[in-house]
Every structure is written in structure tokens, then in C-alpha cells.
Structure 1
Amino acid sequence: MRAKWYRRSLIVPLMALFVTVGCAGGSTQNAGSVKVIAEWASTEQANFLSVLKPFEDSTGIKVQYESTRDLSAVLRTRVAAGNPPDLAAAPNPQLLTQFAQQGKVIALDDKIDMSQLKQNYSQSWIDLGTINGKLYQVYSWVSLKGLIWYNVKAFQAKSYTVPKTFDDMVTLQSQIKGTGTTPWCVALKSGGADDGWPGSDWLKEIVLSQSGPDVYDKWVAGTQKWSSPEIKAAFTTWGKVLGPGDDSNVFGGSKGITNTSFKTGGNPLFTNPPKCYLHNQASFITTFFQEANPNLQPVTDFNFFPLPDITASYAGAHVVSGDAWSMFHDSPQTRKLLNYLTTANAQVIWVKKGGKISPNKQTPLDSYPDPISKESAQILVDTKIGKYDATDLMPADMRSAAWKACLDFVTNQGKLDSILATLDQVQATAYKSS
């Protein structure tokens, strides 16, 4: 029977308190090592390594970090071969759930300090990592999805205003088109088997804001058909943004959308003149903005507004995601590292660098390095309807089919009924085997 570990609500309060949690003392000679694997690369990898440094310096434990964009494939291969890492941080917790059901990962209830975890984390985050009554996953950093980014100076030069509703945003889109400029930048390429996932973010945000949390939960659970009016409506609403497939609505048209990396998809916002004016991506994207354009400054050069509400009764709805840690090998070193990663003093190191939000309630809001990061965290505090990333909670076959469907829809919106029928077929079998 499938572990029913998704939750009806995810509301993450953040409190402006700081608790320093020290690492274990004692001799650091011959302290051992821990093998860790995650997707973080480039600037994100550097930020994670900066988190590890105080731990390594204090304990003497060496952390051997490996980065891969094909994390799911690498983990499946190594688990099957009996050679998994000690710890893994996966952005799709359903994969780790499958490993837990197979007995391949270790329950954490007696491996980490649960009293400290319950003090520092809201129950919603703990519930997300709980499978059949046991804790298998914990989160250290999260991202807020559904943020529409724009070039502040370009917006001001054109006297554009931030839209309050989705219809207002469509009107703004038409206004931008009227000047002969493409309104949107959209990029769905990831460079691996997960191509298409940024498109699924559009769908999640629209489903939640348009049809509400009950439909969203049924969709996650596999009881809401993809061909249902609500999910079909989400695709057609997204289609209003995408336009006819040429470059009238989106820079580069459908070919540009499917062949541009999500990491660089927002960069045309900052050309002179801008090649687009709007870009939808999660809070982590600021890292990539500044990686490509080091002189860009939050608020003065770039800012965001949340995807505007579609249905008034579901106002203030937001989707979040995160990287879930699971343990494959138990050792004193692995326990120490995992306990450290759940503390505020570990998480705040990356928080201060930007691009990540801490789920730890003891992380103070003034730790965030700029008003944009702080506002992202504050939105989580104020979220009225919060849900975890839907496709990350779906079985692997369903998730992969959803990502492919987004690519297919971008390429040919006229095939929507066929795309939805295929998704229904996958849904009918994917949940039985998960």
C-alpha cells in the first residue's frame, strides 16, 4: 500500500529567534568522513561547501561532496549496486520515499535529536518526511515557487505596474506586446531526464490558485484525472501566457522555451534593451541572476511579485519545494552531520548568501541578505494556503510523464486532449506500483 505522506496543508512559520547549536567537541584526529550527494553545483555548491566548513573544522570529519544533475538515476544505480552515499539530499522526496518503502534508507527517529527538531521545525515539515509513522527525511533549505521576476529599471522606464490579479497580468502582457517587445522569458530545459519541470511549476501554481487546495490534493494523490475540467483549465490558462508558439508572447518561441536552461532563462530580462520583461521561477533563481550578472542588485535591478491570484477564494496560495535529506549508512559521523544540517546556525550560512529559505523556526528574518530574500521568507510566514510541490510528491513515472507533457504542450498546444489522455493512462498505473 502506498505511503500516504503528503499533507493537506503546509504552512511554514518563521520566527525571529536565534539559537546557536554547537558541534560535538573533543579530538578531531582520525574523525572519519561522510559521503554526500546532491544536485547543487556551481555557486550553489560553493554555498553548500561554506555550510560544511565550520562542521569540518569543529569535528575533524571530512565531508566528501558529489554533485550530479541526474540524481535520481545515480541514486537508483548505486542503491541497486549496494553502494549508496551516506547522505543524499533529493529535490523529489518521492524517490526517497520509495527507498524507505524498500528498506534502503534508515529511519531517523533515533538518529537525530527529535526534541530539538520538534522545537525548531513546524510539524508540517516533520510530517512531510514521515512515512508510515517513522521519520525518514528532513529538510534544511527550501524555495518559494510562483515568483514573477522583472527588471526594475526597465519596468520603471516603461511605467509598467505590478499586476494584482491574473487578469491584470494578462493585460500587462498585452501592453508589453503592444510596444513590439516579447513579454515573457520561459525556459524548461534542465539538462537531464528532468527537462520540463519548470513548466510543471506553472501548472501547480495555477491549479492551486485557480481550483484550490482540495483539487490540488486529489491531483497529488492520483484521484483527480488530468483530463478533468480543473486540470485541463490549468493548461489552457498557462497557454494564455505561452501564446501561439512563436515569439510574440515568449522570447525564442517554443523552440527557445524547450532548449533554454532554467538557470539562464531569465537572463534576457537584463539585456539592453530587455528581450523580455517577465520570468516565472522560484526564489533560488537570484543566485543564477547574479552568477551571470555579478553587478545586479536586489530591489534596484531585479524584484518579484507573487503569481497573481486567479480565484479570489484561494487568494494567498503558494507552492514550496525543498531538498530532503535521507540517510543510507548510519555512523556517528553521519549522525553528527545530519544533526548539524538541521540547525539554524548551519542553515543561516546559506541563507545569508541568498537564494534559499530556512525551514528552521529559529532562523531570524534579519539573517536574509536583502529585502527580496526577506520578503520571500515573510511570504511563507503569511501563507494562507501552502502546498508542497505536487510533482515532487507524485510517483516517478507520473512525475516524468508530467514533465514530458509540459514540453509537448509548449510544442503543440492543439494536442492538449491527447496529452491529457496519455497522462490519465500513466496515472492509472503509476500509483499502483508506487
Structure 2
Amino acid sequence: MNASPGGPATAVPSTRSRPSRRLLRGITVVASCLALLAAAVVVGVRALDEEPTVTLLANWTGEDEEHFRQAVIEPFERKYHIHVDYQGSNAESQVLGADVEAGTPPDVVVLTGPGELAEYARQKQLVPLEQLVETKDFGPSWALPLADGHVYWFPLKADLKSIVWYPADVGEQQRARAVRRPAEWCVGMGSGATSGWPGTDWIEDILLQRYGTQVYEKWARGALSWRSPQVREAWKAWGKLVGAGGDRELLRRILKTPYQDASRPVTARPRGCTLEHQASFIRARPAWQRADGRYVPSARLIPGATGTHAWEVSGDLVALLHATPEATKLIRHLASADAQQAWSDRESGFSVHAGVRPAPGGTDPDWRRSLARTLRDPHEARCFDASDAMPPAVRDAFAEATIEFLADPGHLEDLLHSLDTLSGTRDLTWLPSVCDRRTP
């Protein structure tokens, strides 16, 4: 599962006292009135100016939102004289679900989950993109045709996941020793409404590196039991690496730490942890910048990996809900090489657009150039993040189960049985493929 940046996040519930229902109700009413008044003022001003507008929902907040506005949105607004009404939320799935149910969805959305988008496509909420976007610029593994033959999304940003970060001054022998010491792993399971997804990334990657793309894809498409020997062993291997059910203080730290803060101990004195299994976006965190973070393919460190590794990847995927003239212009802009290049150059992510080129003069650091090459190399085997590709209900249950497993690995069989039962529910939407079709 991909990250949802912005805001505090923990994997355990808060114990603070809560205000009274009457007070909350009063605050809610006042806040709602103020929000409606503000919205009315904005709508009125735009109506007077006759300013065309397109609404966009994504998960970028804070510095990422600022980069996105500067590199992508503002050039579009200047060129087309169309205002982009942008909403950034670290709970965008919940926001989108509520908006769709209320009949007021945004024109354009950026989501990390193709499984979620596939469900919206089945509900006829999404507009096919073949007439608007050159899908061949991204390749079939990124702009995936569904069973009806249509393409409903393309990536604006991509990340590599099958990697382990370490400080530049930590050598190969130190890394080999650290792998088998749970306290040496920098792990944070917190992510607000999506807490637990770092654990799903671990289990997915272990399965991929141990058993290959065919087993991984079969499982990610709902055709392999959660209680299969391969999936069960992937859970157990992860539990052993990070100390599931062991040291209570270590587990408390793992469960309470937001994923974006997991690397902080890397720069502590003495150093609090050494290795982090996390996607390429984490290199932007201050701790890894100070530690001059380097990476190694996870296949070199995961016990039992076959050595012929594939890469787990993720992406922020653009989809269209309303084909207004303004929205279709924005879709074409977001899919263009220029917009993708501008976003990539801000180092907020990577683009897999065929027209995007590396920074001129070799100005990118080595780690960034090598990550970009791997994401775009046609000879590399890549599989999309399995939990992101699963139906939303299964994805969310998977993330919750990782938290329960960490606290008590003795419940593994019950957790896997529940996930099997949920995955067998009728009318779930599973993707036809999650790995490159050229992979063995």
C-alpha cells in the first residue's frame, strides 16, 4: 500500500478524553456554516469573473502539495486560464467515497490504489482515457486495460518499493548482521486511517522475492489462498525479521511510530536503527538526507530470496470522473511529458513517461538515477503493490491484520482464515494483472 502523507499518524488508538457530544455537535454546526459561507463566497466570485474551474482531489499535502502546485498546477492555470480547485487529503479514499455517495465527486482524482479505481470503473464512475491519453507512453503495466478493454488511469508519479535503505557509512558486513536483529530495522506502522500498510509492503515483497511473479500475481488477483504455504511463510518471515510478539518496548515503538518518522533513530547517537524497508519516496525524509541514505535491492537481504528478484512498484494514478472541457484539458496536461518532467525534476517522485529524460548534466545523485533507470528499464520485472491492487475491503483488512499479527503472531491462522473468507466474497473487483506481462 502506498503512503498518505501529511498529518499525525499512529497505529494505535488514542487514550485522550473526548469532549462532550453537545460541544462536538456545536463545533460541527459552526464549522459547517463557516465552510458553506466560504464556499458560497468562492463560487460567487468565480461566477462574477466567469472563471472556468476544474476540481482535483489527491493525497499531497504540505511540501508535496507546494511542489505539485508550483510544478504542475500553476503552469496549467497560466496556460489555459482555468482554475484548479485542489483538495489535498491524507484520507482521500474516504473523502472520495463520501463525495461519490453524495453525488458530488471531483472532476479528477489521483489515487494510489488501482484496485479502488477498478471498483469505481465497474460502477461506471470513471471515464475511459484512450481518446485523451497516449497510454503507450506509460506501458501496459502502468496504464492497465481492464476486462472491458478500456484504460481508466495513468501514473503521474511512480515509486520503487523492493529496496532497503541504510546510512552511507554502514558497510556490507554491518548490513548483513543488522538484517537478523529486529531492533536494527526502522519500522513505523502508523498512517492514520491507513495504518498498517508498511507491514503489507513487507509481506508482499517477501512473497515476491521468495516465490516469484507468478505466485505473487496469482495471490494479488485473489486466486491464491491466504493460507497457502507461500503466503503463510511470508508472514512468518516478516514476523521473525521485525520481532513480532517479542520485545514489548520494541513493538510499542513500531506500532506507535508514524511511518514517516521511522527513520529518525538513524541519526541518533548512539544510532537507534540501521535499515529501513521502504519505498523510494522515503529518501526525502530529513533523517535519510542527513545520513546520506543509500539503498540495496531487498532481494539481497531477505532470507530465502531466490536471487532472481522482481521489483514491487507503486504509483499515484490519475483518473477522470467528469469529462468537462476543463477536466479533459487537465487530464491531457497531467499526462504530458512536460508536466511529468516538471514534477519529476522537483524530486517529489519519479515519472515512467517515455518522454521524460534524466536531469541534464548528471545533476541527479547516483541513487536517484539508478532508481529512475530501474523504474523505466523494459527488461526489469515489475509488479504493482499487491494490497493497492486488491479490492479496498481486502486491502484495508490486510493492513489491520498486520498490526494484530505484530502484537500476537499466535493469531496468524485466524487472521489468514478471515482474509480468505473476505477475499471469497462475491462481487469483489480484482485486477486482471498486476505484473508486467513479459515477466516469467
Which TM-score applies when normalising by structure 2?
A: 0.80
Q: 1:186 to 1:430 in 2, by over 3 A?
A: farther
Q: Distance in 1 between matches of 2:195 and 2:305?
A: 32
Q: 1:333 to 1:39 in 2, by over 3 A?
A: same
The alpha carbon displacement at 1:423 in A equals: 1.4
Matched, 1:144 2:140: no
The alpha carbon displacement at 1:183 in A equals: 0.8
Matched, 1:259 2:260: no
Matched, 1:393 2:393: no
Aligned partner of 1:226 in structure 2 is 226
The residue correspondences of 1:151-166 to structure 2 (distance < 5 A) are 151-153=167-169, 155=170, 159-161=171-173
Q: Distance in 2 between matches of 1:373 and 1:306?
A: 14
Matched, 1:201 2:166: no
Give the alignment partner of residue 376 of structure 1, picking from 360, 371, 376: 371
Q: 1:350 to 1:433 in 2, by over 3 A?
A: closer
Give the number of equivalent residue pairs: 376
Q: Deviations over 1:337-371 (max 9, x none)?
A: 11111122111222122241101011112367322
Q: 1:272 to 1:342 in 2, by over 3 A?
A: same
Q: Secondary structure in 2 aligned to 1:122?
A: coil
Sequence identity percentage: 30
Contact 1:138–1:342, Cα closer than 8 Å, also in 2: yes
Matched, 1:43 2:57: no
Aligned partner of 1:358 in structure 2 is 351
Matched, 1:190 2:206: no
Q: Distance in 1 between matches of 2:110 and 2:173?
A: 39
Q: Secondary structure in 2 aligned to 1:359?
A: coil
Q: Secondary structure in 2 aligned to 1:152?
A: coil
Contact 2:159–2:350, Cα closer than 8 Å, also in 1: yes
The residue correspondences of 1:311-390 to structure 2 (distance < 5 A) are 313=306, 315-366=308-359, 369-382=364-377, 384-390=380-386
Q: Distance in 1 between matches of 2:179 and 2:139?
A: 38
Structure 2, unaligned runs of 5 or more? 1-48, 431-440
Q: Deviations over 1:83-111 (max 9, x none)?
A: 0001000111222211111111212223x
Aligned partner of 1:62 in structure 2 is 83
The alpha carbon displacement at 1:121 in A equals: 2.1
The residue correspondences of 1:396-411 to structure 2 (distance < 5 A) are 396-411=392-407
Aligned partner of 1:79 in structure 2 is 100
Over aligned residues, Cα RMSD in angstroms? 2.3
The alpha carbon displacement at 1:380 in A equals: 2.3
Aligned partner of 1:9 in structure 2 is none
Contact 1:283–1:355, Cα closer than 8 Å, also in 2: no
Q: 1:48 to 1:237 in 2, by over 3 A?
A: same
Q: Deviations over 1:66-98 (max 9, x none)?
A: 111111111111111110001000111222211
Q: Which amino acid aligns with 2:56?
A: V
Structure 1, unaligned runs of 5 or more? 1-28, 164-168
Aligned partner of 1:5 in structure 2 is none
Q: Distance in 2 between matches of 1:407 and 1:47?
A: 33
Which TM-score applies when normalising by structure 1?
A: 0.81
Q: Which amino acid aligns with 1:33?
A: T
Q: Distance in 2 between matches of 1:238 and 1:75?
A: 33
Give the alignment partner of residue 414 of structure 1, picking from 393, 402, 410: 410
Matched, 1:105 2:126: yes
